[in-house]
Amino acid sequence: MTDIVQSLARIVGEPYVSNHPEEAYFYARDPGLMPPHEPDYVVVPKSVEEIQEIVRLAGREKLPVVPMGAGLALTGLVIPLKGGIVIDMKRMNRILAVNETGRHAIVEGGTSQGYLKAYLDKHHPRLRHSIPDSPATATIAANVMIHGQGRLTQQYGFNSDMICGLEVVLASGEICHIGSCALSPDWFSKGPPLPDLTGLFLGWFGATGIITKIGVKLYPKKKMRDVEIFITDRDDLVPAMVYELTHTEMVEDINVFAQPKPMIFKDNHHITLFFTGDTDEEMEFKRKTIWHSLDPFIKSKDGGFMGVPPVMKPTLLDMPQRSVSRFADVKKGGGFEYSGPIIMVDKYPACTRKIVELAEKYDLGYSGMARIIGRSHAMMYGFAFTFNRADPDMMERTRKALYEVSVFALEAGGVFWKATVDESRSGASGTRVLPFPSCCRPDPTASARPEREHGAVCWLPGLWDPRPPHRRGRYRGPALRKEISCESRGEADPRVFRPCRPRRTPKMGLGAFSGSETCLRNSRRA
Q: Summarize pLDDT for 4-14 with one digit per residue, the tens.
A: 999 999 999 99
Arithmetic mean of pLDDT, 506-517 = 33
Arithmetic mean of pLDDT, 81-98 = 95
Say how far apart CA 456 and CA 461 lie, in whole Å: 15
- Provide the pLDDT confidence category of residue 345 given band limits of 50, 70 and 90: very high
Say how far apart CA 138 and CA 69 lie, in whole Å: 7
Topology (CATH) of 224-323 = Alpha-Beta Plaits (3.30.70)
pLDDT score, position 318: 82
Q: What are phi and psi of 503, to 5 degrees?
A: -95, 160
Comparing CA positions, the residue from 59, 62, 66, 60 lying closest to residue 42 is 66
Residue 180's Cβ-side half-sphere holds a number of Cα atoms within 13 Å equal to 14
pLDDT score, position 422: 62
Report percent pLDDT > 90 for the chain.
Answer: 60
Please say whether the beta carbons of 270 and 257 come within 8 A: yes
The string of pLDDT tens digits covering residues 490-504 is 333 333 323 333 333
Q: What are phi and psi of 366, to 5 degrees?
A: -145, 165
The string of pLDDT tens digits covering residues 299-338 is 999 999 998 888 888 888 887 666 665 666 666 777 888 8
* pLDDT > 60? residue 408: yes
Say how far apart CA 18 and CA 273 lie, in whole Å: 46
29-38, 279-288, 320-329 — which one is most confidently predicted on average?
A: 279-288
Rg of the chain in Å (alpha carbons): 23
Domains 3-88 and 328-425 alike in fold: no
* Beta-carbon contacts of residue 77 (< 8 Å; ≥ 6 apart): 146, 205, 206, 418, 454, 455
Domain locations along the chain: 3-88, 95-220, 224-323, 328-425, 442-526
* pLDDT > 60? residue 202: yes
Average pLDDT of every residue of the chain: 80
Report percent pLDDT > 70 for the chain.
Answer: 77
Say how far apart CA 275 and CA 268 lie, in whole Å: 22
Q: Indicate the range of 255-259, 285-289, 404-408, 512-516 predicted with least confidence.
A: 512-516
- Provide the pLDDT confidence category of residue 421 given band limits of 50, 70 and 90: low
The continuous run of DSSP H or E covering 390 comes out as: none
Please say whether the beta carbons of 408 and 428 come within 8 A: no
* pLDDT > 70? residue 457: no
pLDDT score, position 330: 65
Does 129 or 478 have the greater pLDDT score? 129
Say how far apart CA 55 and CA 219 lie, in whole Å: 35
Does 451 or 117 have the greater pLDDT score? 117
Peptide bond just before 239 cis, omega within 30 deg: no
pLDDT score, position 311: 82
Comparing CA positions, the residue from 72, 84, 66 lying closest to residue 19 is 84
pLDDT score, position 425: 59
- Residue 135: C-alpha distances to residues 41, 78, 177, 205, 361 (Å): 26, 17, 29, 19, 31
Q: Which CATH class is domain 328-425?
A: alpha beta
pLDDT score, position 505: 33
Does 467 or 65 have the greater pLDDT score? 65
- The domain 95-220: what is its CATH number? 3.30.465.10
The string of pLDDT tens digits covering residues 206-264 is 889 999 999 999 999 999 999 999 999 999 999 999 999 999 999 999 999 998 877 67
Does 25 or 451 have the greater pLDDT score? 25
* pLDDT > 60? residue 158: yes
H helix runs in 274-368, sequence order: 280-293, 295-299, 313-317, 322-327, 348-362
Arithmetic mean of pLDDT, 269-283 = 96
* pLDDT > 70? residue 445: no
Q: How far apart are the first and last CA of the chain?
A: 46
* Beta-carbon contacts of residue 513 (< 8 Å; ≥ 6 apart): 64, 65, 66, 67, 171, 206, 207, 208, 209, 210, 455
Say how far apart CA 66 and CA 43 lie, in whole Å: 10
The continuous run of DSSP H or E covering 491 comes out as: none
Q: At what angle do helices 280-293 and 238-248 cross, to 10 degrees?
A: 150
pLDDT score, position 376: 92
- Residue 62: C-alpha distances to residues 1, 8, 56, 467, 517 (Å): 19, 14, 10, 9, 11
- Provide the pLDDT confidence category of residue 446 given band limits of 50, 70 and 90: very low
Topology (CATH) of 3-88 = 3.30.43
Q: Indicate the range of 31-35, 110-114, 186-190 predicted with least confidence.
A: 31-35
Please say whether the beta carbons of 32 and 336 come within 8 A: yes
Q: From the CB of residue 221, how many other CB atoms can be counted at a distance below 10 Å?
A: 16
Query: Global pTM?
Result: 0.78
Q: Indicate the range of 57-66, 305-314, 425-434, 489-498 predicted with least confidence.
A: 489-498
